[in-house]
Amino acid sequence: MAQKSILQQKRAAYQPKLPSALWGPVVAVEGAPTQSVADQEAIKALFPNTYGLPELTFEKDTTSDKSKMESDKTLNVGVILSGGQAPGGHNVISGLFDGLKALNKKNRLYGFLMGPAGLVDHNYKELTKDIIDEYRNTGGFDIIGSGRTKLEKPEQFEKGLEIIKELDIQALVIIGGDDSNTNAAVLAEYYKAKGEPVQVIGWPKTIDGDLKNEFVETSFGFDTATKVYSEVIGNIERDCNSSKKYWHFIKLMGRSASHIALECALQTQPSYCIISEEVEAKKMTLRDIADDIARVVALRADEGMNFGTVLIPEGLIEFVPAMKTLIAELNDLLAHNPQFSTMTREAQRELVLNNLSKENAATFATIPAGVARQLTLDRDPHGNVQVSLIETEKLLSAMVGKRLASMKKEGKYTGKFATLHHFFGYEGRCAAPSNFDADYCYALGYNASLLIHCGATGYMSSVRNLAAPSVQWKAGGIPITMMMNMERRNGVDKPVIKKALVELDGAPFKEFAAHREQWAHETCFIYPGPIQYFGPDEVCDITSRTLYYEQQGK
């Protein structure tokens, strides 16, 4: 048995707070039929058996005199962790386990190992009370491991069905981001179309925060991960305000949307923060961005402040319009040339330059060789560029340095520009969940046991009203097809869950935009400090600033 830190030992005793609606017997209240957020006809045609299902809300069953929800029916359930780690995954599984056992002590939970591949390859283990107790309120996905295998081929579904039948599993729960929940919907449709009695339920996971909509207020893990990054950014800010000699360029994880960067900016008030969605809306080039950062460096230098912090979202490159069209064409090119990864670097560059459109070839030729190569590296199994490998923090600081050098020649800048670079991502993905994520995940898991109990399939577990204390949260399920639209992936149009990007007319961005010029001119750093697990509620239960501003007034 692995040794535990003292915090881990004490934290194991934390009992996550469930919404009061789930404390006893519940009834599932059906809403109106739903439709997808876009491309309704195309999605309906692809999901004839699971499209248009009603939203479900669990309410207290006031007709029952029992103290808890119970069932005579026994259930075997399989669970899969898919994609990148996010704090709270173990609590989702412990919530599901507790919910299943509350329904019927004979219910069993199986974990498929190392992601969706575990289902296809029949690698699994039964999750017993002893195992679950080891992992309560801990970070990481190591209870069963995770992976990025994309479940999309009928052969995979059939292999999965073999083990599902062997273990007599009635429901499969997939914990994942937008792509994995898309897989969950496809799987639910496949089994329903075949008349196989296997329910499929999804859970909203990703530190990126981009799996959200009216019914999913936030994905789990975002709260904890951003608190960890903000703690470290705050520490860097305090260091930089002490020595007053460095500009720190800090890249933050978040494959596509800039929610993490925006949240960290709201928590730490840096000298500068780039929001990719704004870059796209303003059609900015990398040069425009570097020039604007140089403007801030120069104006702080005028006040004697040759130091500061710049936050850079990981997904920036894909939002710079010229780069976006280049990457889209590169994605298609790579998808149609499977031999690409085995070619020499020179041959790869030649193939790219000879096959790209004139405009994109020109952009490709002008970007530094290192970044150009990073753009052509292997895609992840979902066809995405692996943006975490692109060192935009170094690229931008070099461009800012160049701009400052020419400003110096023109007599427009007299300061010093010494830079340090950081990339925060993996530091936060497996942190011990904050109270918010511990409670939210446990509730999502417990709630899924009720969705399974009431026969739902093709649904995502949904817990809402998250800015209120956890006992007031509302629980239920939303049809996954409702969140879908058609997008081009690996050169083909596919049904996928629509990614939620930062809204420039949303409250969190407006709050940031209203203050950023002041944060640039003055030193307004905030030092949030570490996540607190013990102490006053207002410190331990604080939600993300994003959720706070989004929910304010609702």
Residues that bind ligand FBP (CB under 6 A): 83-84, 86, 148, 177, 205-208, 253-255, 314, 386-388, 425, 429
**Contact status, residue 482 vs residue 204, Cβ threshold 8 Å:** no
Query: ∠ at Cα 540 (539, 546), nearest 5°?
Result: 80
**Minimal distance, residue 205 CB to ligand FBP, in Å:** 6
Give the Cα separation of 73 and 413 in Å (integer): 75
Distance of CA 96 to the CA centre of its chain: 21
**Minimal distance, residue 394 CB to ligand FBP, in Å:** 17
Q: Which two tokens stand for residue 8?
A: 């881990």
Q: Which residue's CB is nearer to ligand FBP, number 253 or number 297? A: 253
Nearest to 457 by CA among 217, 249, 75, 188: 188
DSSP string, 92-122: HHHHHHHHHHHH-TT-EEEEETTTHHHHHHT
Q: What is the DSSP letter of 283?
A: T
**Minimal distance, residue 211 CB to ligand FBP, in Å:** 8
Q: Which residue's CB is nearer to ligand FBP, number 425 or number 495? A: 425
Q: Which residue's CB is nearer to ligand FBP, number 429 or number 453? A: 429
**Contact status, residue 160 vs residue 200, Cβ threshold 8 Å:** no
**Contact status, residue 263 vs residue 212, Cβ threshold 8 Å:** no
Q: Which residue's CB is nearer to ligand FBP, number 385 or number 520? A: 385
Q: Which residue's CB is nearer to ligand FBP, number 86 or number 109? A: 86
**Minimal distance, residue 497 CB to ligand FBP, in Å:** 11
- Catalytic residue, candidates 98, 178, 208, 439: 208
**Contact status, residue 202 vs residue 461, Cβ threshold 8 Å:** yes
* Cα distances (angstroms) measured from residue 219 to each of 166, 182, 192, 315: 33, 15, 27, 18
Q: Which residue's CB is nearer to ligand FBP, number 379 or number 394? A: 379
Q: What is the DSSP letter of 433?
A: P
Q: Say whether 65 is catalytic.
A: no
Phi, psi of 117 (to 5 degrees): -60, -30
Count the Cβ atoms, other than its own, within 10 Å of residue 366: 10
**Minimal distance, residue 195 CB to ligand FBP, in Å:** 32
Catalytic residues: 208
